[in-house]
Amino acid sequence: MNDHDVEGSLQRALDATVEDGESDLENRLRPARLGEFIGQPRVREQLDLVLQGALRRGRPPDHVLLSGPPGLGKTSLAMIIGHELGSAVRITSGPALERAGDLAAMLSNLLEGDVLFIDEIHRMARPAEEMLYLAMEDFRVDVVVGKGPGATSIPLDVAPFTLVGATTRAGALTGPLRDRFGFTAHMEFYEPSDLEQVLTRSARILEVDLRPDGAREIAGRSRGTPRIANRLLRRVRDYAEVRADGAVTREVARSALAVYDVDELGLDRLDRAVLGALVRSFGGGPVGVSTLAVAVGEEPGTVEEVCEPYLVRAGMLARTPRGRVATPAAWRHLGQEPPADRSDDDRGQGTLFA
């Protein structure tokens, strides 16, 4: 093994260790019960009724679909459903279910009352999805043995279970799959006051000296997302321990987030790069997302799924039939005056690609 191979192996091992550490930390911060879950009051009330009704009847609850942007607590709610029912939670993801056999193997190992959690369920392969229809309705799967005219279908019973599906793109689900869920919940972005509660709880678990004004500062820059709030808290904790006295105050949080390129609106380096390219390179647009992605050196999917939702919600970017357009707020955020109103024909000529 040469030096390059050794270095690559060490880096992969280090990356795996970091990911395991981050995963363990996130698991510590997850609420275990519905009463501990902060925010999403409507979803919590509806889900509580579904679970309490099922427990009183002594039967597994209807299948549950959780939709909404990343980081709002869909995985946490899936874990909570298992805890509230006193059931085991089996976890997989849509991309991992490439063949019907992958799903059949997982379903055959379920015990009665188990919760099967499929993250990114909209990315399931079609053969596995079609097998899931029958499992969800009749708790049965048909396994095909052999090929061609001699193929035989063998029906296998599946123990009654509850499927919890999570998706960031509810519109990408097929109608037949969506219709088989008995309860569908859409997760909304969090208000800053709710994020302050999330941060206070996380700080208590992580033993961070978080002051109220520090929590308020971090919450305001967390893009309405608990996962981002917890990540920023950990980075501000590092700064407070190394460059301050350990207490996370408003001033410490501001200084720390400046180091990590998170501005007062929660925009990070990539967000500002997208806005900067849109304003400076394309005159505010309209411009296609693929062209915009090339300008900032990112994949189109990253720009569309990571940056755009928050920039649109923050009122800095608009989607139009002809492409993405910077709003006056985006120009001002970059310290520039927005141009006088012009027709779409005068803006972004030759830059429109899907």
Contacts of residue 65, defined as CB under 8 A and 6 or more positions apart, other chains included, come to 121, 164, 165, 166, 167, 170, 173, 178, 181, 183, 184, 185
User: Does residue 227 have an active-site annotation?
Assistant: yes
Question: Is residue 234 exposed (0-12), middle (13-18) or buried (19+ Cβ within 10 Å)?
Answer: middle
Is residue 190 a known part of a binding site? yes
| Distance, CA of 56 to CA of 69 (rounded, Å) | 32
Is residue 260 a known part of a binding site? no
Contact 224, 312 (CB under 8 A): no
Which of 114, 162, 167, 168 is the catalytic position?
Answer: 168
Is residue 180 a known part of a binding site? yes
Which of 223, 227, 231, 272 is the catalytic position?
Answer: 227
Is residue 76 a known part of a binding site? yes
Is residue 239 a known part of a binding site? no
Burial 106-144 (b: 16+ CB within 10 A, else e): bbeebeebbbbbbbbbbbbbebbbbbbebbbeebebeee
User: Does residue 152 have an active-site annotation?
Assistant: no
User: Does residue 74 have an active-site annotation?
Assistant: yes
User: Does residue 351 have an active-site annotation?
Assistant: no
User: Does residue 320 have an active-site annotation?
Assistant: no
Is residue 58 a known part of a binding site? no
Is residue 269 a known part of a binding site? no
Which of 75, 162, 291, 351 is the catalytic position?
Answer: 75
Contact 291, 353 (CB under 8 A): yes
Is residue 147 a known part of a binding site? no
Which of 114, 119, 194, 268 is the catalytic position?
Answer: 119
Is residue 48 a known part of a binding site? no
Is residue 188 a known part of a binding site? no
Is residue 30 a known part of a binding site? yes
Contact 247, 285 (CB under 8 A): no
Pick from 76, 317, 342, 61: nearest CA to 190: 76
Is residue 227 a known part of a binding site? yes
Residue list for the binding site for ATP? 29-30, 71, 74-76, 137-139, 180, 190, 227
Output the known binding site for DNA.
Answer: 319, 324
Q: Which residues are annotated as part of the binding site?
A: 29-30, 71, 74-76, 137-139, 180, 190, 227, 319, 324
Give the active site residues.
74-75, 119, 168, 227
Report the binding-site residues for Mg(2+).
75
